[in-house]
Homo-oligomer: A and B are copies of this chain.
Amino acid sequence: MQASSSTETEALAEALSRDLATFTNRLLQAGHRDLFAAIEKAGLTITQVKCLKVLCEADGALYLGAISDELGLSLPALSRAVENLVRRGHVKREEDPRDRRSKLVTVTSRGRATYEQLTALRLVGIKNFVAGLEPAEQEALAAAVGPVVRRLEP
């Protein structure tokens, strides 16, 4: 295999980037409608779902301030979002015994179940997209994407 020149490398990266932009557009459209419908049916907002995501991916309890930082939202906005999640039983909010100004937020099993249902629904959309690809295309994608995902997110 020949070494590529710098300009060739750049051109490849440029073309690949454009293709990836188109590709992700397609992938996002898949099942978008169903997912939004399910979120609305669950009485949740996008912000509340993002909040659940952060909490599900965390190992334990998080402070309100930590969540608002993570999501780039104001503390009042997050406080209200959590308030709704508490009312619906998706999270619990408790005083930190070591600093009673702070509140610790934790996902409940119900909240985790809801989040996993939504994640599964998104996956359905992607699976439908994948099912529309030819076997050779699927194999090439798996061979290309798998290693990248494994390397970046272990």
Residues of chain A having any CB pair with chain B under 8 Å: 4, 9, 12-24, 26-28, 122-123, 126-127, 129-131, 133, 135, 137-149, 151-153
C-alpha spacing A24/B15, complex, angstroms: 17
A130: chain B residues within 8 A (beta carbon) = 13, 16-17, 20
Q: Contact between A21 and B135 (Cβ–Cβ < 8 Å)?
A: no
Please tell me how many copies of the chain the complex holds.
2
Nearest B residue (CB) for A9: B135
- Closest CB in chain B relative to A32 CB, distance in Å: 10
How long is the Cα–Cα vector from A21 to B75 in the complex, in angstroms?
29
Q: Give the chain B neighbours of A140 by CB distance below 8 A.
A: 140, 143-144, 147
CA distance A129 to B152 in the complex (A): 11
A23 to B63, CA, bound (A): 29
Measured CB to CB, the closest approach of chain B to A64, in angstroms, equals 22
